[in-house]
Every structure is written in C-alpha cells, then in structure tokens.
A and B are shown apart, each in its own frame.
Chain A
Amino acid sequence: MKTRIVVVGNGMVGHKFIDNLVNHADRDQYQVITFSEESRLAYDRVQLSKYFSGSTAEDLMLTSTDYYNEKGVQYILGDKVIDLDFDNKEIITASGRREAYDKLILATGSFPFVPPIPGNNGEHCLVYRTIEDLERITASAQQSKIGVVVGGGLLGLEAAAALKAAGLETHVVEFAPRLMAVQLDEGGGKLLRRKIESIGVRVHTQKATNEIVAGAESRYRMNFADGSHLETDMILFSAGIRPQDELARKCGIGLGERGGIVVDNNCQTTVKDVYAIGECALWNNRIYGLVAPGYQMAKVALSHITGGKDQFTGADMSTKLKLLGVDVASVGDAHGNTPGSLSYTYSNDVEEVYKRIIVSADNKKLLGAVLVGDVEAYGTLQSMCVNGMDLPEDPNCLILPNVDGGGAAIGVDALPESACVCSCYDVSKGAICCAVQDGARTMGDIKAITKASTGCGGCSALAKQVMDSELKKIGVEVSNHICEHFPHSRRELADIVRIKQIKTFDDLLDQHGRGLGCDICKPAVGSILAGFWNEYVLDKKHIGLQDTNDIFLGNMQKDGSYSIVPRIAGGEITPEKLIVLGEVAKEYKLYTKITGGQRIDLFGAQLHQLPAIWKKLVDAGFETGHAYGKSLRTVKSCVGSTWCRYGVLDSVGMAVMLENRYKGVRSPHKMKFAVSGCTRECAEAQSKDFGVIATETGWSLYVCGNGGMRPRHADLFATGLDDVTLIKYIDRVMMFYIRTADRLQRTSVWMENMEGGLDYLKKVVIDDKLGLCEELEAQMNYNISQYQCEWKTTVENEELQKRFKHFINSEARDDNLAYVVEREQIRPATALERKSNNIQLVELVD
C-alpha cells in the first residue's frame, strides 16, 4: 500500500515539498494530500510586492490545480486543520473532515506580528502577508492620503515603497535606532536612511508607539513614547513575523521558549512521523524567515522519509532588498558577532556607498558583509562566505572601488564545484557548468535548465560569470558575430554593403546570412544601409528593419504611446514656433517637457494621432528631430559672441549649421554635438561625440566624448580651425565611425577600442594615411544630399499614413491607455490607479 503523506499548509515551502515528492524517483510509493487555510494554492510570497506594479494573483501562482491533478496530488483549499489525533494518526479540519496519515508535514508558515498597542485593530490597520492583505491595502489606500508602516525592516521598507507607489505620503516608524537593524550596522543604516528619504519616504527611528487614537486631520493619530505624534489615514504593521505554531501547541508538539516547532537535523518534531518545515520550524533555537532555508528543509524532510541522508545544518541568511533604486545587501554575520572578528569598512558619502566586510580573527575567512549603494559584490561575497573560501591576500580589494581595475571580481574559478551560486533554487557552480557542457550558451538557457537566477535574481551576475568562464574553458569562442544570422561583425557587414553596393537587407541575407534575421541584425543592417545610401526608412524594402522607435518615427513610451520631438536646431526657436508647439500640445493634451538636448518633447501621443500632429508641425515649418533614430540628436549651444560678453565666435550660428548639415545621418549609435562660444565652455562640448569650442585662433574640435552612464572627456583633435576645415574633419571622422564601429558602439567606446587610438585617428583624418579622405567626404556629401524629413514625406503621402492606426479594422483606440493629471499635465496612470475606480482619468482627445 502507498504511504499517505498529509501536508498542512500549502505555502511556498509546503508546495516545494510536494513538488519535490511528485518528481522523486519513488513517487509511485506515496499518496499526498495537502490542506490550506488560504483559498488558493501556493503563490510566490517573495514577489508579493509585484502585485502593486500590476502583477495579478494569477501571475504570482507557483502551481496550478491542473498540475496537482496531473501529478495526483489531492488538495483541499479554504479548510484549516484544527486538531491532530496522534493515536489514530489522523488530522481534523475546521469543516470536520478527518484524514489519515502515515507521515505528517507541518508547513504552516508564520503570521505577522502586530505589537500590542491600544487601538491597533482599526479598520485601516493592516498587515502584509497574503494576497488578501494586498487587496485590503489597495482598498484602504484609495481612501487614504497618508500611510505609515510600522517597522523598518526588509519587509517594512518593501511595504513602504508599495504605499509610496500608490501615491500616499509615506512614513516608516521604527523602534530601533536604525533601519534594517537586523541586517545593517550603524554606518549602513545611516546611508540607507538617506537613500530611503531621497525616494520620498519619511523615516522616524527610535519611536515606540504608545497608542493609536482618532486623528484631528487624518483618520488616526499615533502617540509616541517620547511625546511626539504622527497623523495618518492608514497603518501597516510590519514588525516581524511569528511562527504559526497554534496547531502544534494545541496538540502538545514540542515548541521553543518563544514559539516555533522544534525540529532536529532531519526536520522531525518531537512527535513520531511528524515533521515541520519552513517558517514554522525552529532549528537550533532559530527561525529562518527566508524562503531558501525553507526549501532546504523541504528537501531534508523528503530525504528522511524516502531513506536519504540529507541533513539540515543551518542556512545562510544573506539578503538583498528588492527595492528599485535602493541597493542594500547583507551577507552572513553582518554585525561581527563572531568573537574576535575583524572588519574592513569603505564609506563614500559623495557616491553614497557604504561597504563593510567582517573577517575571521586570523584574517583568513570572510564571515559577513554589509553593502549599501553598491551591491555588485554581493554574489561573490556571499559565495565566499557560504563556501568558506580563503580571503584574497588583501581583503581591501573586496570593497575598494576598482583596485587594479578588478574591483570585487574574484575569479569564479576559485569557487569549488559544490559552491552554491543560487540559494533560492540551490543551484551549485557544478550544476551551471554541467548545463554549459550540455549545450547551454546564454543566461536564458541557464535559467531554463537550472532555474538559477529565476527567484530573487540576486545571483544573476555571479551565475553569468560562472557561465562565461565555463564557456571559455570548453573553447566556445566569444565570437564577434553580430548574431546567429550573419557570421560577420558589424564592421565586416558595413564593408560588404559598401563594396558590393548592397541596397536591401534581403539581398544581404541571401548572399551572406541565414534564417529570417532578428531584432539584432535587422536594425543594425538598417542603420548600415541608411548610413551609406540614406533612403526613406519607411520604404517597403526597409520598413521591416526599423526598430521600435524608428518604425513609427517616434519614441515609444512605456504604455505604447509616443513622444513627438521636432528639431530645434542649436536650441534656437522663434516665438511663433514656440506658440505653435504650445497650441499643438494643448489641442492634443500632450505632456510638455524641455529636454537636456535643448528642445521640447511632447509626450502621450497616440499612434493614430501622429500624422495629424506632425502635419500641423510640418506646416508650421518644423522638421523631425530624429529622437527615434540612431543618428544625430542635437547640437547644443551657448549663446555665443552675438550676445555674450565673453564670446569670441558665433556658437549658435555654428551649431545651427552643424545640426542642419548632419541631421538624419544614420550611424552605429546616436551622436550628440555641442558648440561653445569661448573656453568657458557653457555648452559642455567636451562631453559630446563632437565638441566644438571657439578660441581666439579659430575653432577647437574635440571628439569621442560622452556623458551619461560612463562619462568620457572628449579628446582634443585639432585647434585653430576655420569653418571649412572644421566641417571637413567632422565629415571624415563621422564617416570613418559609420564604416568601422560596432553595432551600438558610441564614439567614446569606438575610440577606446581603436588600435593606435587618437594618434591613429589623426593620421587617418588629418594626414590621410589610408588615402581615404576624399572617399569619406564624398560619401558624406552623398548621404547629406539624400536627406529628407521623414515626417514631411509621411504627411504628404496618404498611403504612408495608413499604418498609423492602432487597429487595421477599427477606428477604436487602445483602451489600455489611461492618464491622470499631475502638476497640471497628463501622465500615465499607475497600475494601482487603473485598478481603482475613484481616480479621475483624463479624457483623451481623438
């Protein structure tokens, strides 16, 4: 007869146990039935906060009734187990159902602790644990302006971010002197506080709440022990969890002093044939409030039942905060509680980074770490700690920025095969290497085969390093082929297109590629073709090559609407044109913003409105700004000698001329220019791809600068230039870039990778070392002669406008677009606002 296993609780861990069992080699010998108090099968509590960013209960499910049916798992939902009869080996539920067991698994999880404060049971005093809790929070948030989270731990901060996203004025009240007191030391806590405050959440530490009473302005008033108070409309308790041991307590199963079902290394309780796993279990006087240790327990209990040898011997408590824009992580013994431990600290207030590592007394092993602001080293540190690896000779290099260019990157080769890379899914380095041996080539493959990196995501950088290193070992060349469809780099493809005079993607694919092409090679080839031949990008031959933005000549925004960016060369605009922009924006209710590129973007245009809006702009003399293309963006300028007291040359005039000359030229990546009227450099030209600065002796040309994520100061290329020479040099450098750069390589990186660097580029462009200059100039002149304003072409041809419709067979518009008003203009409604029925949506213009 089959062994009957009853699993009480179908949460994350209970489900894991069942899933392991039904995939076990001996599965046929067991019959499993599970009971859940909740109304649905197991869902992903770890990702619960995603509910606020639009995930549905459905998305969060870890399993389905179909899956359980297929695997022969019986499940009873919404029926709580209320008693156990050990003599007859039966469980009894609230509905009176009795079920016999041979082995009983308690996976009852935990419940949120609500501090015993008078007044804590109001209608808008809530907790954060289940999907139903989130539904209550959503409902309450709609009737509230201010929200307070009690508890500044990992969960509390997650909850605060959710309230903030729901549009509430959000406060966190913490009893301890700092946030995330369990994980962070004082320095880390301080910096975290600054970061949390900078996303607009108010933090109050060292506040003990005495009572909650009716408020004067808001629904409630919290009175604190120090005499201060805070008014709020809702309160969310996140003051820790308590093991759900009610059932065990009632039936006399051994508990810890402060609760929790006592288990041994096999996850057995004090009662025969009864196991406890997950957050309800107390091992070595410790509750593990994380999912990974629970999964380990699930494995151990199953192993014991099926005659295996796995033991539970404690688990790693490293954690990472899942908050956008606030990076915090702690590893192992973050407080340095181990006797004799030493620590190293790196703290940088300017960049808001705090890192501390705790090492053993002999300075040989890593015991723990705290990271705030820069958590890149998390994966490495965590595996060093868990796997007991030796510290590098100088442990400082683990936390100092870029020592020897290496930073915290310790070779993954030093990790043992058994090292745990992904603790969510217990995936070892060996398992990832095996997957690579079996043919995995991308992180996508690794995720699909091993499940690594599909939980909290904290291990993704480390997992990729392991994969890359293994790929290298088995001799898979990290090839420069643009993608699987062409065995060539972008530069090689550019040569082929130019030399063979190829005019279409299809010809190139026929002659040099295979398959259908993809979203990597198509836009790249589209850019090469345009870079040399500059034909209308929406021509039938080319339209399939145009990326998201190019294909409708506008930048797609997050909700599928578009931005409208007319060219305002050099940032110079007449009052008449300014008025036209305002009128058009008003007519179509577009959000209006002045960009860093010295022009004006209009946001929130629907696809079908684009031709009509552009018709008005084109009629008023505007041209497309190519904000959508990999091409020249803007030429920024200062006001220059015409007005400025210091100016020596007309920077605005030069900027307007340059912008009009190079507008529409397609390139491997976008290009930005700036022109300053004197060396005070108000236009910040040295941070641009092409920077021009006026001097007493003529123009200075700077090339290959960059702002953004990885700023690069532009290199001084030539000085004392007259207008004609300046343009000649820019023509040549730009066309050389178009010919030789890699796909999506900005000029800065192109320069850094160029053999011979700046000197070589000067030899090619100034000394004509390759005898190319004439050709480069001719090519540029041809390209420029082919210029057209794509929007002008489009609004003048009805046939071309047909595509600008949401539906091919209906005049309806996309009913998913929804906007609300903020600071007197529209913005897309958040997921939460969409769900709510009392938020005022903006009526859209047709």
Chain B
Amino acid sequence: MSEKPWISVCEINDLLPDTGVCALVNKQQVAIFRSRRLNEVFAVSNYDPVGEANVLSRGMIGSIGDEVVVASPLYKEHYNLRTGECLEKPGYKIPVFPVRLDDGLVQIQA
C-alpha cells in the first residue's frame, strides 16, 4: 500500500502554544495541538464521539499520569493524544493521524 501524502496545513506559529486548531484534510476534520513543554505536535480527529460535535480542537490539553490528553470542551472526557483512547469511556476511541514539522510547516497524513 502506498503511503498517504503529507499535507501542509499551517505554520507552526499559527498554533498558539498549548492550544489547538482544526484543519480540513481530505474531507476529514483534524484537530492539531501544540504542547510547549513537550515541544511536540499532535493530530487527532476533531469529532467528539460522546458530544457528537466537531469540537475537540477547542479542548484543553494537559497530562494525566504519563499520558498526554485533550479534554473534550463539551463533557470533559479525556482522550489520549497518542493512541486516541478515551480514558473515561472504554470503547470510545478517536482516530489519530501522523503529524510532522517540516521547515516550520505543520504536515498531516490523513
């Protein structure tokens, strides 16, 4: 299977530290977060499967134990930003997308 192409969505500076944005990549809504402390960027689906709305990019990121998470802005479930798993509701899992930085550009495979 051929790899999906990397698609540039914004500049890293468009992403304020410790907040998220939503990008439209191949018709999918992708929530992208930047953690200043970890100096790392994460990409997951923007759809909140519990609240049933496209809002995860507007959630707050942080850590629970060793896991990096985003809290849904609607009902505050936490999703692991590396695996997509929901901490409170086993069975709910959101898609995670590969993301990288290339010369100041945030790029996603989706």
Contacts and interface: CB of A to CB of B under 8 A. Distances in A.
A290 B77 CA distance: 30
A516 B24 contact: no
B54 A560 contact: yes
A558 interface: yes
B24 A517 contact: no
A724 interface: no
A584 interface: no
Contact of A544 (B23, B60, B65): B60
Contacts of B18: 543-544
Nearest to A521: B62
16 contacts: A454-B90, A516-B61, A517-B62, A517-B63, A519-B62, A544-B18, A544-B19, A547-B60, A551-B60, A551-B73, A559-B53, A560-B54, A806-B22, A808-B21, A808-B32, A809-B25
A552 B38 contact: no
B74 A556 contact: yes
Nearest to B69: A518
Nearest to A509: B37
Interface in B19-34: 19, 21-25, 29, 32
Interface string B8-19: 011000101111
B63 A809 contact: no
Interface string A614-633: 00000000000000000000
Nearest to A807: B24
Given A516-B35, A809-B23, A812-B24, A522 B58 contact: no
B3 interface: no
Interface string A513-531: 0011111011100000000
A619 to B, nearest CB: 27
Interface residues of A, number: 39
Contact-residue size bin, chain B (C-beta under 8 Å from the other chain): 35 or more
B74 A809 contact: no
B103 interface: no
A547 B19 CA distance: 11
Interface in A790-846: 802-803, 806-810, 812, 814, 816, 831
A720 to B, nearest CB: 46
A544 B14 CA distance: 14
> What 3 pairs between A and B have smallest CB-CB spacing?
A544-B18, A518-B62, A548-B73
B14 to A, nearest CB: 6
A803 B19 CA distance: 10
Nearest to B35: A516
Contacts of B36: 506
A809 B26 CA distance: 12
Contacts of B99: none
Interface of B: 9-10, 14, 16-19, 21-25, 29, 32, 35-38, 47, 51-55, 58-65, 68-69, 71, 73-74, 76, 78, 87-88, 90
A447 interface: yes
B62 A516 contact: yes
B12 to A, nearest CB: 12
A713 to B, nearest CB: 32
A666 B78 CA distance: 26
A519 B77 CA distance: 10
B71 A519 contact: yes
A808 B37 contact: no
A444 interface: yes
A810 B10 CA distance: 10
A518 B10 contact: no
A793 to B, nearest CB: 16
Contact of B90 (A54, A447, A816, A831): A447
A519 B53 contact: no
Given A448-B90, A540-B16, A809-B9, A516 B37 contact: yes
A516 B38 contact: yes
A292 B90 CA distance: 21
A808 B22 contact: yes
B78 to A, nearest CB: 8
Contacts of A802: 14
A242 B38 CA distance: 60
A444 B65 CA distance: 14
Interface in A357-379: none
A548 B74 CA distance: 7
Given A519-B62, A523-B60, 7 more contacts: A517-B62, A518-B71, A519-B71, A522-B60, A548-B60, A551-B73, A812-B24
A810 B46 CA distance: 15
A808 B58 contact: no
B102 to A, nearest CB: 15
A507 interface: no
B35 to A, nearest CB: 7
A484 B74 contact: no
A809 B28 CA distance: 12
A519 B60 contact: yes
Nearest to B37: A516
Contacts of B51: 558, 560
Nearest to A810: B24
Nearest to A516: B63
Contacts of A831: 52
Looking at A485, A543, A547, A808, which has the most chain B CB atoms within 10 Å of its CB?
A808
Nearest to B66: A515
Interface string A594-623: 000000000000000000000000000000
B16 A803 contact: yes
Given A519-B76, A540-B16, A808-B9, A556 B61 contact: no
Interface in A716-744: none
Nearest to B56: A560
Given A551-B19, A808-B10, A518 B52 contact: no
B32 to A, nearest CB: 8
Nearest to A54: B52
B65 to A, nearest CB: 7
A814 B54 contact: yes
A51 to B, nearest CB: 13
Contacts of B71: 518-519
A558 B53 contact: yes
B52 A484 contact: no
Nearest to A505: B18
Looking at B37, B54, B62, B87, which has the most chain A CB atoms within 10 Å of its CB?
B62
Contacts of B74: 548, 556, 558, 560
B24 A809 contact: yes
A444 B35 CA distance: 25
A523 B10 CA distance: 27
A560 B53 contact: yes
A313 B8 CA distance: 64
A548 B59 CA distance: 7
Nearest to B8: A809
Given A519-B76, A560-B55, A807-B24, A543 B16 contact: yes
Contacts of A810: 23-24
Contacts of A506: 36-37
